[in-house]
Amino acid sequence: MTNEAQSVAEAVVGEPAIEKQPFNLLVWMSSRGIFVFTTVLVVVAAIFIDGFASLDNITDVFNRAAPIGIVAVGMTFVVISANYLDLSVVAQVATAAVVLIAVSNESNIPAAMALAFVIALLYGLVNGVAVGVFKANAVIVTLSTTFIGLGILRWFSGGSIYFGPQDGAIRSFGLAKIGPFPLSMIVLILMTLILSFVLTRTNFGFLVRSYGSNRDATRLAGVNTAWVVIGAFTITSIAAMIGGFVLGAFSNTAVSSMSTGFDFRALAAIIVGGTSVFGGRGSVLRTLLGVVFVSVLTNIMVLSGLGFGVQQMAIGALIVAAVSIDSLARKASGT
Amino acid sequence: MSQAQGIQLGQEQGGLVSRIRVTIARRTEGRALALLILVAIATWITEPTAFTAWEVTLGRVALIGLVALGLTAVILMGELDLSVASTLAVCGVVMASIDNLALGVVAALAVGLIIGVVNAFFVVVVGINSFIASLGMLFFLRGAAFVISNEEPVRLASRDAGIAFGKPFLGPLTPRMVIFIVAFIALQVFVTRVRAGREFYAVGGNREAAYDAGIPVRRRIFTGFMISGFVAALAGVINTLERTAADPTAGSTVLLASFAAAIIGGVLLTGGRGSIFGTLLGATSLGILQVALTLTGVQVDVQNIVIGLVLLLAVITDPNSLRTVVGSARSLFQGRSGSHPVG
Amino acid sequence: MRSRYTRWISIFAVLAIVLAACGGDDTSDTTAAGSTDETTADAGGDTYEVFALLPQGNDQPYGSTYLPPMQEEADRLGINLTITNSQYDADKQASECEVAVAANPDLIILWPAVGDTVRPCLEAAADAGIPVTVTNSDVNPEDKDLTAAYSGPDTYGQGVASAEIFCDLAGGEDVGIIMVNGLTGNSTAIDREAGFEDTINDQCPNVTILARQPGNWNKDESQIAASEMITAVGAENIGGVYAADDTMVAGVIDALKARDIDPASLIITSIGNTFLGNPLVKSGELDGTVFQSSSWDGGNAITTAYEVLTESPSERIVKFMPSVKVTADNAEDASVAPEW
């Protein structure tokens, strides 16, 4: 019974129509949960794993976190709007990277970025209109745009791998660091701050959360829900584009297969962070923590020489464990 | 009587005519049927081989559809199982790792059931969302498949048995097709004629009401995940037998194809609406489309674009959604200033 | 240019079919589009119908440079190719094989997605009297009698060749190395790893593998994994690197540079000799790589199939792509000009 009561409670909590920023114990607890997990993991690793605390290794963790993190903070909007996930980020990241490098080789970087931006808007619009206006299922809509997008990308690029010049601006960006922070990590932090502001402090962010927790009520309140959905998908698309830029710049290469698995990896980070897949509840900051957590964990396992299979098992187990502890703690606290 | 659930009550009242009308109105397979007819006509005109060699097409449908059938049982209850593809891979690896064929099959199917129980345990007892529980299992089981197989394909000890299994044994039907048909009939009967199965709809439609009506919701969720896990394991067993080896990377295209089949078939991801038959129609449309596109010899990238477009068209042309489109489209350009994304 | 033109014709034909089908009643459009397709197919005159069951295509850099020479050779020899891409899903490839057998072509070209799983496909083709030739990755020894030919690289041999370059450079010294492998579970990755490791153990056991991780054929993943392995084993202990392809070795070299380790001071070998790898050999950062020619691979898949079709040889034809070692000595040669 507690399980069901809880899901009802969740539907009622976050009732955005009442006030913009209700203090929510559950939200506070679960964000503290991932914060505690991440801190404990970092401290334990720093003590027991040789080299973990070195500057070079911190850079590696950030390099791991940045591209997937940028995609995940954007995709948080789709998850919070109760639309499951955006599978097409796989196509979008690869497209942005290929466009950035291929087009800048032919003409210049601003032109490449402008084209990538137009493509990102197109993705956001197509996904958003199909889901928001036609009320189609987001999983299948974004699955089909993945097929179409990757098909078109491979059609035009012939599947080739593109390299940027060794001394170009893209390359310099990919290598640049401030202390142990690669520029890509700074981009991730900036994105997190901006998107966090959008989600918590703007009217649009409020509507996304409200739509995610109760779409019928939001619609009946006279809100134009189609724009809310289009906006959520467009933010995801722009984030995926920036993630593609960062990924392309880091390796100075671009190929249509480079972002395989970004869909579920980004979702895993969002969920480990504690954003509810029911929609409505969640935060961009938590997604950032989720990304850092998964990246630190992967880093530790590679440092320990564990094989790929064990890494996957551990990530799977920790997704379930993190969320289970959270759930059991909530039950124990009687909320 | 088995009509305990609230959503079925209307059917008891009124005569035959209204009953038929209610039945048709409640059917959710319309979109899948329309898509199937269109795909079938287009295929008939351009690539009739897809029908003359119908057993090949049926084989493809069975490949896509089997996992989707089990998945439908879970989705009907408003839950999700993202771990089906990894379940398929790990069960195949378990089976091939055991030298005795019969023992291997039993072990693989048992593992599938256990995976279902574990998924349901996290959902029902621990109380976490099935999307998360099965996402964790997706990664965990894939990793387990790599660890058990030592990251390499595992060959079946008795290859000849595997090869024999891939051959027709009932007329032109191979065991895969027969198992697929049997699984379809069993699940169709289960969710339409058996009380426990019909209660899936109530669990997915309105869980509170289901509780109030005295339906053992927790047990139903366990049953659903066990069906899904078992069917995925069955697919893994069939694949491993037919291929004579288990590949730890198997099933990479299974998860999304299964979801596509179910959703095109009119199964609502939030639960309570849809049917096993709809999933069958969805899988059949996708199967025919894929086989026909292969036969055209058109470049693979173009095939993917076409599949994507067909999926997109199918999913945005749901009669329910089309009705809302007119309204939304109108309001889209009216209330712009009020709720513009930038605002 | 002509192929580009036909490409566009075919996409519009297909789109027309789909749209017409979705439009419903406009059947005249559908038949018109259908007949366009047939005329392009018949244009070749006396043609052979051949199905090519591949596990990759334009979704991978290698496949994307394998396909054009394959298509070119097929057009030249009057072969009408139907190509599939199973994305390394063995079950999907098996189903595509059933489709191919049902279409009853003159020959099937098979690039196994997973070598251990192709026996039933080969038997089905044999039962239908359709000859099968194998490209890129050969089938298991016991399955070879069901196939008429093999052309392609010796994947295991490439790992061997890369290890031989390594052993030569290592001399008798004790060298600790880190290893970056391909996609986990992928047959090419497995074979190359085995070829390299077996040869190291055999010819220069003084070389020890300190750490290994998959780089999934990606430069960025390889770069991060390599950097983490350097942290794990300590930069001072590393005397060399092996990566399973040039894209990944480029990532390793970037990782070394990011830590101010001079790549030239280490022994580094890989496989591929691609556009990315060849310049690294010339600059001395990469000590040696093994040339894999995608145009040889794609072209010979067709010429070998054509030989089988026209000459029905009694012996199994085997054409190995020469595993040419590319080092600073020959990196400038035209014969090893990179292709992908």
DSSP calls for C169-222? HHTT--EEEEEEESSTT-HHHHHHHHHHHHHHHHH-TTEEEEEEEE-TT-HHHH
The pLDDT of residue B32 is 85
Q: How confident is the model at residue A221 (pLDDT cuts 50, 70, 90)?
A: confident
B316·A323 Cβ contact <8 A: no
Residue B338, pLDDT score? 39
Chains that touch A (3 or more CB pairs under 8 A): B, C
pLDDT of residue C11: 46
pLDDT reported for residue A254: 93
Selecting from B139, B143, B304 the residue whose C-beta is nearest the C-beta of A147 gives: B304
Residues in C closer than 8 angstroms to B149, CB to CB, are: 185
The minimal CB distance from A137 to the residues B127, B139, B315 is found for B315
Chain B (22-81) residues lying within 8 Å, Cβ to Cβ, of chain A: none
For an interface test with C, which of B49, B55, B158, B300 has the most C Cβ atoms less than 10 Å from its Cβ?
B300
Chain A closest CA to C201's CA: distance in Å?
20
What are the extents of the domains in chain B? 29-316
Q: What is the pLDDT of residue B270?
A: 82
Beta-strand relationship, C48-54 and C107-110: parallel
Query: Which chain C residues are Cβ-neighbours of B310 within 8 angstroms?
Result: 18, 22
Token pair of B259, please?
């979801």
B126/A327 touch (CB, cutoff 8 Å), yes or no: yes
Choose the closest CB to B311 out of A147, A225, A228.
A147
Q: Does the residue A161 lie in any domain?
A: yes
| Chain C from 29 to 68: CB within 8 A of any A CB | 57-61, 63-65, 68
Residue of A248 and B4 predicted with greater confidence = A248
Q: Which residues of B touch A1 (CB under 8 A)?
A: 211
Contacts within 8 Å (CB) and 24+ apart, A13-18 = A13/A281, A14/A209, A14/A213, A14/A280, A14/A281, A15/A213, A15/A214, A16/A206, A16/A209, A16/A210, A16/A213, A16/A280, A17/A210, A17/A217, A17/A221
How far is C63 from C77, CA to CA, in rounded Å? Answer: 21
The fold of the B29-316 domain, in CATH, is ABC transporter involved in vitamin B12 uptake, BtuC (1.10.3470)
Evaluate whether C274 touches C243 at the Cβ level (below 8 Å): no
Which of C34, C57, C88 is nearest residue B46 as measured by Cβ atoms? C34
Cite the beta strand spans of chain A per DSSP E. Answer: 162-163, 177-178, 181-182, 253-254
Yes or no, beta carbons of A139 and B269 under 8 Å apart:
yes
Name the residue of chain C whose CA is nearest to A258's CA. C218
CB contact under 8 A, A247 and C220: yes
Chain B residues close to C10, C-beta within 8 Å: 298-299, 302
pLDDT the model gives residue C19: 43
Strand partners, C137: none
Among the partner-chain residues B132, B301, B304, the one whose CB lies closest to the CB of A319 is B132
From B225's Cα to the closest Cα of chain C, the distance in A is 24
**Cα–Cα distance, C202 to A44 (Å, whole number):** 40
d(CA B48, CA A248): 45
> A276 versus A244: which is more confidently predicted?
A244
Q: Which residues of chain C have pLDDT under 50?
A: 1-9, 11-44
Best residue of B176, B243, B289 to probe chain C, by most C CBs closer than 10 Å: B243
Distance from CA of C301 to the nearest CA of A (A): 20
Give domain status of residue A2, yes or no: no
Q: What is the mean pLDDT of residues A190-207?
A: 95
User: In chain A, how many domains are there?
Assistant: 1
Q: Does C305 touch chain B (CB under 8 A)?
A: no
Average pLDDT over residues A24-38: 64
Q: Is there a contact between B296 and C37 if contact means CB atoms under 8 Å apart?
A: yes
- Looking at chain A, how many residues does it have? 335
Query: Which residues of chain B fall short of a pLDDT of 50?
Result: 1-12, 335-343
CA distance A212 to B343: 18
B187 vs A13, A29, B96, B277, CA distance in Å? 37, 42, 27, 9
The CA distance from A176 to the nearest CA of chain B, in Å, is 32
Minimal C-alpha gap between B338 and chain A (Å): 8
Q: Given this model, what pLDDT does residue A216 score?
A: 86
Q: Identify the pLDDT of residue C3.
A: 46
- Inside any domain, residue A1: no
pLDDT at A332: 67
Q: How far apart are the first and last CA of chain A?
A: 13
DSSP A222-291: T--HHHHHHHHHHHHHHHHHHHHHHHHHHHTEE-TTTTTTHHHHHHHHHHHHT--TTSS---HHHHHHHH
State whether residue A250 sits within 8 Å of chain C by CB: yes
Tokens linked to C19: 């749209």
Q: Which chains lie within 8 Å of chain C at 3 or more CB pairs, if any?
A: A, B
**Cβ separation B139–A313 shorter than 8 A:** yes
pLDDT of residue A17: 40
Structural domain contains residue A11:
no
Please name which of B79, B91, B96, B45 lies closest in space to residue B292, comparing C-alpha atoms.
B45
This prediction has a pTM of: 0.85
* B301 touching chain A per CB within 8 A: yes
In chain C, what residues touch A302 (CB-CB under 8 Å)? 213, 225, 228-229, 232
* Angle between helix A183-201 and A225-251 (nearest 10): 170
Q: In this complex, is the C-beta atom of B147 within 8 Å of any C-beta atom belonging to chain A?
A: yes
Q: Are B263 and A138 in contact (CB under 8 A)?
A: no
Mean pLDDT in residue range A283-310: 92
Q: Which of B44, B45, B58, B97 is the best residue to mutate to test the C interface, defined by the most C CB atoms within 10 Å of its own CB?
A: B45
Contact call for residues B271 and B78 (beta carbons, < 8 A): yes
The shortest CB-CB distance from A137 to any of B82, B127, B263 is to B263
How many residue pairs from chains A and C have C-beta atoms closer than 8 A?
A: 98
* Of residues B121, B136, B34, the one with CA closest to residue B82: B136
Asked if C258 lies within 8 A of A155 by C-beta distance, the reply is: no
Q: Model confidence over C179-212: pLDDT tens digits?
A: 999 988 888 899 999 999 999 999 999 999 999 9
Domain that holds residue A141: 20-332
> Using the beta-carbon criterion (under 8 Å), do B338 and A331 form an inter-chain contact?
no
Backbone dihedral angles phi then psi of residue B246, each to the nearest 5 degrees: -105, 130
Chain B environment of A147 (Cβ under 8 Å): 304-305, 307-308, 311
Question: CA A76, CA A88: separation in Å to the nearest integer?
Answer: 14
Q: Is A316's Cβ below 8 Å from some Cβ in C?
A: no
Q: Which amino acid is at A27?
A: V
Which residues in chain C (135-194) have CB-CB distances under 8 A to chain B?
184-187, 190
pLDDT of amino acid B333: 59
Whether the per-residue pLDDT at A7 is higher than 80: the answer is: no
Supply the pLDDT for residue B66. 95
